[in-house]
Amino acid sequence: MDTDIIKLYFRYYHDPDRIVTLEVPTDILVDDLRPILHDTEGLECSISQLILFSPEGDHIDHDATVHDVVTEIYESQDLAVTDPLFIKILDPEELEESGDNMWKISSRINKLHLK
């Protein structure tokens, strides 16, 4: 079975003029995008500091597939170009203060990143 590939657009929360483009399979989890973005962009932060948000600023469920998120957020794939997802890089202090599991890196991501 062939997997569909989708082009996703992202903006940095702290630098909204900077656009990042990724082509990824639609069946991967949103959680899998974080190490890809981290490596592709050469970010010096921890993968656990990367949080993804919808164009409206809503937190995206990291356990959802890319297909499900795109279907829910965008009525048309063309909107992904004009309304990119947001990447927010949390400060280490923000990460510690949150104490919420959604900010914690999973062992599955660690394993994925080390491959």
Domain boundaries, the chain: 5-114
Please give the pLDDT value at position 82.
63
Identify the residue with better confidence: 95 or 53: 53
- Is 10 within 8 Å of 86 (Cβ atoms)? yes
Please give the pLDDT value at position 2.
65
pLDDT in tens, 77-101: 555 556 899 999 988 777 766 554 4
Query: Token pair of 16, please?
Result: 């909204």
Query: How high is the mean pLDDT of the chain?
Result: 80
CATH architecture for the domain at 5-114: Roll (3.10)
CA nearest neighbour of 28 among 58, 1, 60, 68 = 68
Q: What is the mean pLDDT of residues 10-25?
A: 91
Residue 85's Cβ-count burial label (10 Å; 0-12, 13-18, 19+) is buried
Please give the pLDDT value at position 107.
42
Q: Which residue has the tokens 């190490």?
A: 35
Q: What is the mean pLDDT of residues 6-21?
A: 90
Please give the pLDDT value at position 101.
46
